[in-house]
Amino acid sequence: MNKKKKKGRRIRALLIILCLVAAAVYGGVKAGEYLAYKLTKPIGESENPLEGVKGNGETGGDIALSENDAISLTGTVTEFVNAEHMKKTDKLAGIVSPDYYNTLIKNIKPLKASTPKVQDINFKDVAKKKVIVEVTYIKNSRQSSETITLELSGSSWKVSSVERG
C-alpha cells in the first residue's frame, strides 16, 4: 500500500506541475499578443482613422472633409451597401436620390441577397456638394468593390450613382 500512495502522490504532483506549465504558457501567449500590439503601434498614431481625410475638389485645390462629414458619409455608405445587398427598398428610399431610385432597384434585382462586410472605404474625389467613394466589401467569401457617388441634397447626402467593379 505504501507504493500505491507514493505513486498517487507522484501522479498528483505531475498533474499539478502540468497545469502550472499550461497556465504559464497561456499567460505568456496572451502577454506576447499584448506586447506585440503595443510595440507595433507607433507612438502618436491617431486613433481616429478619418482624421485629415482629403480629396481633390472640382476647383483643383484640396477640400478637407470635416470629421463630422467624414463620419456621416462613412455611415451613409455602410448603410447603403448593406441595404442594397439585402434588398431593403424601404431603407434605400431614404438614402438614394429620387432620380436614381428606380434605376437602382432594377440594377439590384439580379444580386443575391446576403449580408456584405465592408472592408475599406476610400474617398476618391471630394467636392463641396459631391463625393465619390470607393467601397471594398466581402460578400459570400468573395471580395468586390463599388464606386458610389453621393451628392449633398439639402442637409443630407444621397446616393446618385453606383458602379460595380
Average pLDDT (105-130) is 85
- Is residue 106 within a helix (H) or strand (E), and if so which, with residue range? helix 98-108
Closest CA to 158 of 50, 79, 86: 79
Which pLDDT belongs to residue 127?
Answer: 82
- Which residues are 151's β-sheet partners? 130, 158
* Average pLDDT for 160-164: 90
pLDDT score, position 18: 95
Domain boundaries, the chain: 1-45, 54-164
pLDDT of residue 56: 44
pLDDT at 63: 65
The pLDDT score that the predictor gives to residue 126 is 84
d(CA 154, CA 98): 13
Please tell me the pTM assigned to this model.
Answer: 0.60
User: pLDDT at position 109, please?
Assistant: 86
Grid coordinates belonging to 48: 481616429
pLDDT, residue 33, reads: 87
Q: Which residue has the higher pLDDT, 129 or 11?
A: 11
Residues 36-79: pLDDT tens digits? 877 776 555 445 544 554 544 443 445 667 777 788 888 888 89
How far is 84 from 111, CA to CA, in rounded Å?
Answer: 9
**Are the CB atoms for 85 and 115 separated by under 8 Å?**
yes
The answer, yes or no, to whether residue 14 has pLDDT greater than 90, is yes
DSSP string over 9-22: HHHHHHHHHHHHHH
Note the pLDDT tens digit of each residue in 120-129. 888 888 887 8
| 54-164: CATH architecture | Roll (3.10)
